[in-house]
Amino acid sequence: MEKDLSNYRKTYKKGELLKANVPENPMELFRDWFIEVDTHFNVGETNAMTLSTFGLDGFPKSRVVLLKKYTYEGFIFYTNYESEKGLAIAANPAVCLSFFWPAAERQIIIKGKAEKIPENLSDGYFESRPRGSQLGALVSNQSEVISSREELEERLRALEIKYEGKTIERPKFWGGYMVRPEEMEFWQGRPNRLHDRIRYRLQLDYNWKIERLSP
């Protein structure tokens, strides 16, 4: 099987990113871009981001997860701590997050360290989830091999009966991570592939060094 994609072409001309115009803190630029994309561009899930980890098998692995909160400290998402990604983070907390918003011709690439958030914060978010999502967290032994789809559905039916009329508490193997950024790169598509790339790097004094990168 072969398909030549060399003729795929796109002209980037929806914006610019100038070093003179960016804030000192990258989280402020992230906030501004996120709000702008979420408000003015039809991208579906603006909070969808690619999480890359170093796997226990020595290979890097990327998958899409959903950003659930961002603050000046970092980026929060939720998952099964015993999943493939959870075990990878436990072994090596150095991760990469990336957002790609093609409608706005923008990317953001974030390097940082992931750490578990306090249990009470995970409890609060779990309580806010739809009941079906709460049960789904209990049903799935994430990343483990299963025999069939029917096996999952049978587990779900059993839990629906077990918890009928009862509060579903957050399982200890499920919760949130915060990724604290150490480097953030903002990419804005420009004509002739001369894209704007602005990188922030956290310094020892906790200030951010801002640099323009060659496209």
Please give the pLDDT value at position 9: 81
The model scores a pTM over 0.85: yes
Please give the pLDDT value at position 109: 98
Please give the pLDDT value at position 6: 85
Please give the pLDDT value at position 195: 97
Question: What is the distance between the alpha carbons of residues 75 and 177, in angstroms, rounded to a whole number?
Answer: 8
Catalytic-labelled residue, pool 193, 199, 201, 212: 193
Please give the pLDDT value at position 8: 84
Give the chain's end-to-end CA distance (angstroms, integer): 32
Please give the pLDDT value at position 5: 87
Alpha carbon of residue 207 to chain centroid: 24
Q: Is 180 a catalytic residue?
A: no
Cβ-count burial of 136 within 10 angstroms (0-12 exposed, 13-18 middle, 19+ buried)? Answer: middle
What is the block-wise mean pLDDT of the chain (215 residues), using blocks of 10 residues?
86 91 98 97 94 97 98 98 97 98 97 98 97 93 87 92 95 97 98 96 98 97
